[in-house]
């Protein structure tokens, strides 16, 4: 039997589109998931099916039916995981660079989901057949901390904390150029690029609100080590925001962090930078801190993971170059 949840539209959601309000009132759903459920008639307003664009009134009752999760066709795989924490509700792992989080077009095996299915007895079904347990994501090239849910209760609680910014997610990144300000905040809406469907871009008209706080940790001759804290969680957010500032993430081929960045340097710096790019075959970006309240017990949980060897080797080389320059 499907799980039916009911919510009454509060004053602050009155006048909003149904799909936008569903995401707020039923945490754990993305906008696209909400729209799919609405299209399939699994979301009703005052007892009748309506379109995603339907405008709500205060006091309307929304009923959402969550269908039984379809059996996953994904195969559990015996892939080693760096597990920092695990209990019956959730698991926190340190994802290596190069691992895709969940299956998608052209990728059906070797993902974090495959590894989790091989490690855990079960995962939350809210993420769907291809994304069981996945509450938030890291890009394929990004290493670091990620939490997955084993139960629907944990999934909903974690999703709510991420949406309300109660969960803290911090990254370290090496970016091109020398940032002048010791700290700052980037607020620029992010949406799908109209020119390249696999890329995101700052888009003031169609983009969704996105904000990143940053702090400079160390400056080098032609690069900067920064700490970045997410206020929102848009796709490629850190990479897009620093590229928008003119300081793309070092080694990032999609957002100007490789050949495009080198072309802007002088002769001697260009040679040194080209050599350093051989140390990182991906964006020099690592999810280093993750803090949240346990979604079931309420206990505070906080985790840290140092950057892997490729980023550490890059930092050592940047420091060594600065010492020689002095």
Residues annotated as catalytic (active site), given as ranges: 139
Question: In the 3-class helix/strand/coil scheme, how is 130-184 assigned residue by residue?
Answer: CCCCECCCCCCCCEEEEEEECCHHHHHHHHHHHHCCCCEEEEEEEEECCCCCCEE
Backbone angles phi, psi at 224, to 5 degrees: -140, 135
- By DSSP bridging, strand 285-293 and strand 143-149 are parallel
* Cα 169 to Cα 100: distance, rounded to the nearest angstrom: 19
Q: Which two tokens stand for residue 291?
A: 């803090």
β-pairing verdict for 61-66 and 43-45: antiparallel
As a three-state string, the secondary structure of 260-302 is: HHHCCCCHHHHHHHHHHHCCCCCCCEEEEEEEEECCCCCCEEE
CA distance 36 to 41: 9
Residues whose CB is less than 8 angstroms from the CB of residue 227 and which lie 6 or more positions away in sequence, other chains included: 170, 171, 172, 214, 215, 217, 288
C-alpha span between 132 and 124 (Å, rounded): 5
For residues 9 and 64, is the Cβ–Cβ distance under 8 A?
no
């Amino acid at each position: 039997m499907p799980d039916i949840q009911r919510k009454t539209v509060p004053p602050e959601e009155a006048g909003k589109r149904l799909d936008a309000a569903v995401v707020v009132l039923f945490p754990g759903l993305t906008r696209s998931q909400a729209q799919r459920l609405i299209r399939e008639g699994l979301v009703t307003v005052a007892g009748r099916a309506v379109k995603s664009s339907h405008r709500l009134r205060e006091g309307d009752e929304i009923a959402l039916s969550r269908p039984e999760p379809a059996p996953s066709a994904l195969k559990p795989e015996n892939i080693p995981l760096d597990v920092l924490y695990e209990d019956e509700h959730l698991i926190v792992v340190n994802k290596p660079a190069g691992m895709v989080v969940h299956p998608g077009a052209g990728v059906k095996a070797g993902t974090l989901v495959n590894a989790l299915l091989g490690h855990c007895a079960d995962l939350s079904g809210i993420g769907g057949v291809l994304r069981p347990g996945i509450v938030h994501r890291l890009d394929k090239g990004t290493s670091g901390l990620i939490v997955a849910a084993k139960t629907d209760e944990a999934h909903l609680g974690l999703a709510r904390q991420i949406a309300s910014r109660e969960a803290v997610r911090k990254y370290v990144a090496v970016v091109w150029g020398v940032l002048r300000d010791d700290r700052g905040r980037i607020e620029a809406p992010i949406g799908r690029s109209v020119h390249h469907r696999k890329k995101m871009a700052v888009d003031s008209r169609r983009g969704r609100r996105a904000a990143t706080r940053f702090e400079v940790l160390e400056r080098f001759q032609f690069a900067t080590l920064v700490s970045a804290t997410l206020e929102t969680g848009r796709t490629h957010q850190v990479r897009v925001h620093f590229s928008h500032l003119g300081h793309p993430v070092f080694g990032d081929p999609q957002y100007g962090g490789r050949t495009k960045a080198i072309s802007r340097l002088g002769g001697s710096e260009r040679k040194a930078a080209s050599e350093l790019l051989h140390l990182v075959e991906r964006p020099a970006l690592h999810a280093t801190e993750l803090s949240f309240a346990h979604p079931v017990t309420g206990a505070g949980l906080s985790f840290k993971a140092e950057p892997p060897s490729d980023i550490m080797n890059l930092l050592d080389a940047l420091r060594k170059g600065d010492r020689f320059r002095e």
